[in-house]
Amino acid sequence: MSTTMMGKKLFTQRPLLTLPQILVLLGVVAALIIALDLNRRAQAGRTVGAGEAGLQAELNAEMTRQVELQARLSYVESDDYVEAYARDEGGYLKSNESRIVILPIAAPPFPTPMPTATPDPAAAAQPWQAWWQLLTDAPLPHH
């Protein structure tokens, strides 16, 4: 055997992964894919259930509204409603009734009081007082 031949046997490549290692690696990858899919499905299930409470509350409110509307419909179709509408809105009376209209009594208006005139200080002032005020802008001297 020559050294080149011997070198080839010494440095022969062995496979990177063995068959059991490849099977374990495939198992781990499959488990990861399954776990991610289950997580996605759980999130989707929570999202579907989240709106259920709001829809149930809205359904209950609409059912209550339906009952109220049905009660109002039965009242509107009754003779009591027609009579009340005729009296209040239409102004109709039964044959043995008479209308009483209360008219407010208008109070006579009070005359507007005349304001008292304020005395004009210029009318009682002497000419020298007006000049004093204009020139000095000081209060008038007392006598």
With beta carbons less than 8 A apart as the criterion, state whether 106 and 98 touch. no
Domain boundary among 66, 89, 112: 89
**Burial per residue of 29-60, b for 16 or more beta-carbon CB atoms within 10 angstroms, e otherwise:** eeeeeeeeeeeeeeeeeeeeeeeeeeeeeeee
- 106-126 tens-digit pLDDT: 877 888 888 888 877 667 777
- The pTM of the full predicted model, rounded to 2 decimals, is 0.36
- 72-118 tens-digit pLDDT: 999 999 998 988 888 888 888 888 888 888 888 887 788 888 888 88
Tell me, letter by letter, the H, E, C secondary structure of 3-29.
HHHHHHHHCCCCCCCCHHHHHHHHHHH
Tell me which residue range forms the domain holding 66.
53-89
With beta carbons less than 8 A apart as the criterion, state whether 73 and 67 touch. no
Q: Is residue 66 part of a domain?
A: yes
Other C-beta atoms closer than 10 Å to the C-beta of 106 total 6
Within the chain, what is the greatest distance between any pair of CA atoms? 152
Q: Is residue 118 part of a domain?
A: no
With beta carbons less than 8 A apart as the criterion, state whether 119 and 108 touch. no
Q: What is the identity of the amino acid at 105? A: I
Total number of domains in the chain? 2
Confidence at residue 22, expressed as pLDDT on a 0 to 100 scale:
92
- 124-136 tens-digit pLDDT: 777 777 787 778 8
Q: Is residue 134 part of a domain?
A: no
Q: Is residue 23 part of a domain?
A: yes
Residue 70 — pLDDT band, cuts 50, 70, 90?
Answer: very high
Query: Is the predicted pLDDT of residue 26 greater than 90, yes or no?
Result: yes
Q: What is the mean pLDDT of residues 14-35?
A: 91
Q: How far apart are CA 39 and CA 32, in angstroms?
A: 11
